[in-house]
Each structure stands twice: as C-alpha cells, then as structure tokens.
Amino acid sequence: MEPDFWHRKWQRNEIAFHEGRPNALLVRHIDRLSLKAGSHVFVPLCGKSTDLGWLMARGLRVSGAELSRDAVDQLFADLGLEPAVTQTGSLTHYRAPGIDIHVGDVFALSADMLGRVDAVYDRAALVALPAAMRARYAGHLTRITGTAAQLLICFEYDQSLMDGPPFSVDAEEVRSLYDRDYALSRLERVEVAGRLKGTVEATESVWLLERRQA
C-alpha cells in the first residue's frame, strides 16, 4: 500500500479497522506470552489502538510503529499523555512514561531503536499489507524484535469477494512466513460477527509464535 492511502484514511476518519475496546482475542490469550510486569510489547502499525492502553494498564511497557502522525496524536490524546517528540533519522519518536511510538515507515525502524523486545502483538499489521509486501514485513519484524514471541491475529475469507485491507492471510501463508523461525500454534478461530465489513463471511484466528530452540 502506498503511504498516501493510509494518510487519507486517517485524515478522512475512515478508520473502521479501529476497535473501540480491547481486542477480545488479545484479552483471552495475552497470558500465553508469559509476560512479567515491565515487559516490553511491540505493536506494529498500531494506529490509536485501545489495546495499547489496556496493555499498559497490565503493567507492561509498550512501543509501536505507525505511519500516520494524526493517529499517534489521537492516541496520546486518548491516553491523556503529553509526549516528548524527537527525530531519529526519518522517524519521529513520541515518548511518555510506559510508551514509545515511532512515526513513519516501519521498514526504517531498527533493532537498536526498539531495544529489547519481549513480545510482539500483531493485530493489524500483517493483514494490512498486500501479498507482495508480507514476506518482507515478516522478515523485518523477526529481525528487529530478535525473534520475540508473538500473538498474531489474521482474517481468512475469499479474497476474490472483497479487496483488502484487511487482507486474507490463511494458515498456509502464516506457516510459510514464520515457520522457519517459530513454532506456531493456532490458539483460537472464530467467525467474524456480522461478516467482515458487513460484506463477506470470514474467520479470525489468533496464533502464538514461539522462538524455535536452536
């Protein structure tokens, strides 16, 4: 997707992908990551997700990557936090107690910028990218997070019936992207209530990705 696509979405408030409450699959399965207080959770393409505040309320430190500055401004306003804003290369860094957001191209984000990552929560990143970009993204995410464990949420539906995003990412593709570095377990698969975008029947799956032992 071109960056202008997402900038227009936020400028026009066309953000049906934004959930107004913590994601139910995250709430049910967060404990599978075995995180301790103060653990660092990275949320790629985070938007202004309420999941970030929910994770912070559990005593976790969160960071994110987001293309839209509008989204990040709204996120900090919703959290009631006044961020310190600095520039790191091509990325703008928003920081407040317990949260760091890097604004710009996720592919410009490095492991050094992120620091140690204990877990990744990907609800809206992999499924937001067209097929041609997903392998590059998965490899980049694996490298910059040091193969940290992941909770990954994906949709599955007949892609011929509707254009993404969100795109359909089935079990075969999840395995092709991540099986080399992770042991994969599908924790739950549910029907999307009311159809995806009210249009097509779809399922939503949550995967646990755990680093393979050498």
Percentage of the chain surpassing pLDDT 90? Answer: 87
* Structural domain count, the chain: 1
Bridge partners of 95, per DSSP, are 84, 100
pLDDT tens digits for range 44-90: 999 999 999 999 999 999 999 999 999 999 999 999 999 999 999 99
Here the CATH number for the domain that contains residue 80 is 3.40.50.150
What is the C-alpha to C-alpha distance for residues 69 and 52, in angstroms, rounded to an integer?
Answer: 16
For residue 132, pLDDT over 70 is answered with yes
For the annotated binding site, the residues are: 10, 45, 66, 123
Q: β-pairing, 40-44 with 61-66?
A: parallel
For residue 6, pLDDT over 60 is answered with no
What residues have CB less than 8 Å from 135, skipping those under 6 apart?
177
Cis status, amide bond into 44, omega within 30 of 0: no
For the annotated binding site for S-adenosyl-L-methionine, the residues are: 10, 45, 66, 123
What is the C-alpha to C-alpha distance for residues 41 and 145, in angstroms, rounded to an integer?
Answer: 10
pLDDT tens digits for range 26-50: 999 999 999 999 999 999 999 999 9
Give the domain range for residue 142: 3-13+20-211
SS3 153: strand
